[in-house]
């Protein structure tokens, strides 16, 4: 598939056209009134870059190193649940695109394609995201499966002590019981998207959670996802549980979902290797800080002791540069690759990543920087707004 250059937002609109509404809204939506979802983007856009000219920017390198991995650019594909419902075996497609781009893919616990399937289709190690489950023995079995296929980094998502209400999902029947009216509306919605039906509903089977088929009854069905989350994710987890993770995992441990400087210090004290500053893409507690506003405080709290990554609102290579300027080692992107894989499969994700890289090169050239290590607060014309 030869895709014309397009922005991340262009892929969003292509995904909207291809996907049934309930699936598009699942990717696109946030919790409650979606104020934090909007703030993630708006606060990034409010940051201005400082244009500098007449500098030698004849050679620009996007290469960097994160947690021992050499990356061709400081971008990581974030874990996205249910991705295999957006495109045929979407997790495999995204992992292959990440490998081609020289970056890291992160497999979600609630992926449709399991870790073994992704590993069989790629040669580069990927990261594995996991939640702390009530059934610790099953979580330990997932650690073992991830290690067996060569995963070197575990991403522990820690902001799901309670599940935020995503009202779009409630209205569309992705959460809660389906009424007869909802069932009819969903059937009509699916039928009005024949390309998705052919490529995904038929061509993308099996529609089960590849990492959870042996977990609990009902977890295999995507429509049971949120009920499974509510019943299985452990709200009693504390920083002491990092020691349990360390006992059963020998690779890097990254915690995802930190917004507070004190929490960041506790994470560092617990011995994690990395922190992802994240509000779950605005999908958990609405009204909290945007990721970009929380980032400087977290970086200041842990210094160089822990690799600080960030996700939330990144829609372009310019956004990546802004996040690096505030101290992040790299950015994770979730919606960007979910929209892109929905729009064009592996080719869509590859094209999106090429666009982000091209945008980064322009931003670096016109801020007078030639290497990722050169990017700091001096490339910003406006400081971040404090909380």
Catalytically annotated residues: 280
DSSP H or E stretch at residue 9: helix 8-18
Distances (CA, A) of 3 to 135, 230, 355: 44, 40, 11
CA atoms of 140 and 2, how far apart (whole Å): 42
Strand spans (E) along the chain:
64-66, 69-71, 75-77, 104-107, 127-131, 153-157, 252-258, 274-277, 307-311, 330-333
Residues 6 or more apart in contact with residue 141 via CB below 8 angstroms = none
CA atoms of 76 and 106, how far apart (whole Å): 7
Farthest-apart Cα atoms in the chain, separation: 66
Contacts 24+ apart (CB under 8 A), 172-176: 172/21, 172/22, 172/25, 172/26, 173/22, 173/223, 174/22, 174/25, 174/26, 174/223, 174/225, 174/226, 175/226, 176/226
CA atoms of 93 and 112, how far apart (whole Å): 12
CA atoms of 250 and 213, how far apart (whole Å): 25
Distances (CA, A) of 57 to 4, 61, 265, 361: 27, 10, 37, 10
């Amino acid at each position: 598939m030869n895709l014309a250059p397009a922005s991340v937002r262009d892929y969003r609109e292509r995904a909207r056209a291809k996907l049934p509404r309930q699936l598009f809204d699942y990717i696109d939506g946030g919790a409650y009134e979606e104020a934090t979802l909007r703030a993630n983007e708006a606060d990034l856009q409010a940051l201005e870059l400082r244009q500098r000219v007449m500098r030698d920017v004849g050679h620009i390198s996007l290469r960097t190193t994160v947690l021992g991995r050499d990356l061709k650019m400081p971008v990581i594909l974030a874990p996205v649940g249910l991705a295999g419902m957006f495109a045929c075996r979407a997790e495999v497609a995204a992992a292959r695109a990440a490998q081609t781009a020289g970056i890291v893919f992160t497999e979600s616990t609630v992926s449709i394609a399991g870790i073994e399937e992704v590993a069989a289709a790629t040669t580069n190690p990927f990261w594995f995201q996991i939640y702390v489950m009530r059934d610790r023995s099953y979580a330990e079995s997932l650690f073992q499966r991830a290690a067996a296929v060569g995963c070197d980094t575990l991403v522990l998502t820690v902001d799901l002590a309670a599940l935020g209400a995503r009202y779009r999902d409630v209205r569309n029947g992705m959460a809660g019981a389906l009424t007869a009216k909802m069932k009819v509306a969903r059937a009509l919605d699916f039928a009005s998207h024949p390309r998705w039906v052919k490529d995904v509903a038929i061509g993308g089977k099996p529609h089960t959670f590849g990492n959870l088929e042996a977990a609990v009854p009902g977890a295999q069905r995507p429509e049971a996802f949120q009920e499974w989350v509510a019943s299985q994710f452990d709200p009693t987890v504390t920083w002491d549980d990092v020691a349990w993770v360390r006992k059963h995992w020998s690779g890097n441990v990254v915690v995802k979902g930190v917004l507070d400087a004190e929490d960041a210090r506790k994470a560092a004290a617990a011995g994690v290797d990395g922190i992802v500053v994240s509000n779950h893409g605005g999908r958990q507690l609405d009204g909290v800080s945007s990721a970009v506003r929380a980032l400087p405080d977290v970086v200041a709290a842990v210094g160089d002791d822990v690799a600080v990554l960030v996700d939330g609102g990144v829609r372009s290579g310019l956004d990546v540069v802004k996040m690096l300027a505030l101290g992040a080692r790299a950015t994770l992107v979730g919606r960007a690759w979910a929209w892109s894989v929905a729009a064009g499969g592996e080719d869509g994700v590859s094209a999106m990543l090429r666009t982000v890289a091209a945008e980064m090169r322009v931003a670096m050239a016109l801020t007078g920087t030639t290497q990722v290590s050169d990017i700091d607060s001096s490339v910003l014309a406006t400081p971040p707004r404090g909380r």
